[in-house]
Amino acid sequence: MPNDTLAKHLFHWETQPMKWAMRLRVALYLAQALEYCTSKGRALYHDLNAYRIVFDDDGDPRLSCFGMMKNSRDGKSYSTNLAFTPPEYLRTGRVTPESVMYSFGTLLLDLLSGKHIPPSHALDLIRDRNIQMLTDSCLEGQFSNDDGTELVRLATRCLQYEPRERPNPKSLVAALIPVQKETEIPSHVLMGMPQSGATLPLSPLGEACLRMDLTAIHEILEKLGYKDDEGATTELSFQMWTNQMQETLNSKKKGDVAFRHKDFRAAIECYTQFIDVGTMVSPTVFARRSLCYLMSDMPQEALNDAVQAQVISPIWHIASYLQAVALSALGRENESEVTLKEGSVLEEKKNKTA
């Protein structure tokens, strides 16, 4: 997304701190996003934190799809600092829908304090009725005691030790709607962002993705090679040249040959061997396998790989472009349009810094 993450705007702001009305809006939009995911059978969201909330061109908060990746759906993935981890995860090693509510509570603390405060410390302050120590000093005069108390109450409910005592997304939405402020003011105004009305001209790759011209995309990726991997798959020390490493590189090379000759099934097999070993990480390999899946009429697998490429390289425009193509192939046109625009913005930024 072109306007950074919640973490950037809360913890590392440069021009102005986030206003109280916008913080409440973030909480509501996030609760609504989680309610929607739950209604679609995707109640698990892994490692929910301020870095997973991003802002679109209009300044509206959006939930990143990174926490919903297919390889995280088994409920066994959590990478946050243990101080912020749901207590049941420490006991069982599994993430549940109630764990997501716990993480939502930590985000409410982030919004209230402007800092990433460990839940145990925050709960101590709440029990001691020392709410002032928990509140961001930049918010002075922006909200009433009742408003602050309501957000603290919601956070406390989400942070209950027993999972069954935590609220669900629907009840969070119901609680957050009445406390919204300045609802008539657009998010980009509250955030102090210029609204991006102009549409960037698309590059040849962007145009190919808009047309879903897979042949043209293939030609461009083939010409680009591995330039955007920044040496991740080539700069190896002498000690790393083990037999396993050589076999891994051979798998990638065979995949590249198959990719060049448009043998996409063989390329998928070879790239999968390279990825499964896990010795080296290459966003380009995921991008290439994503296109191979598209060529093989496997759009969901293509989307998963494009998302993984962006996890590895968050500002890589090609990952966004391929997500747009996969989303369009899945019939998710609105999401595809937004993601295509994100790719165009990222490509423009890259070209300006080149």
Q: Return all residues near 181 (Cβ < 8 A) that are at least 6 apart.
A: 20, 21, 24, 143, 147
| Active-site residue, selected from the candidate residues 4, 47, 74, 228 | 47
As a whole number of angstroms, the distance between CA 59 and CA 188 comes to 4
Which long-range contacts link 126-129 to residues 24+ away (Cβ below 8 Å)?
A: 126/152, 126/155, 126/156
As a whole number of angstroms, the distance between CA 62 and CA 79 comes to 21
Q: Do 18 and 25 touch, CB atoms closer than 8 A?
A: no
As a whole number of angstroms, the distance between CA 220 and CA 32 comes to 39
As a whole number of angstroms, the distance between CA 241 and CA 77 comes to 31
Q: Do 203 and 340 touch, CB atoms closer than 8 A?
A: no
Q: What are phi and psi of 11, to 5 degrees?
A: -100, -25
Q: What is the DSSP letter of 330?
A: T
Alpha helices (runs of H) in 6-136, residue ranges in sequence order: 6-11, 20-39, 87-92, 97-113, 119-127, 131-134
Would residue 128 show up in a list of annotated catalytic residues for this protein? no
What dihedral angle (degrees, nearest 10) is formed by the CA atoms of 210, 212, 216, 218?
Answer: 120
Q: Which residues are catalytic?
A: 47
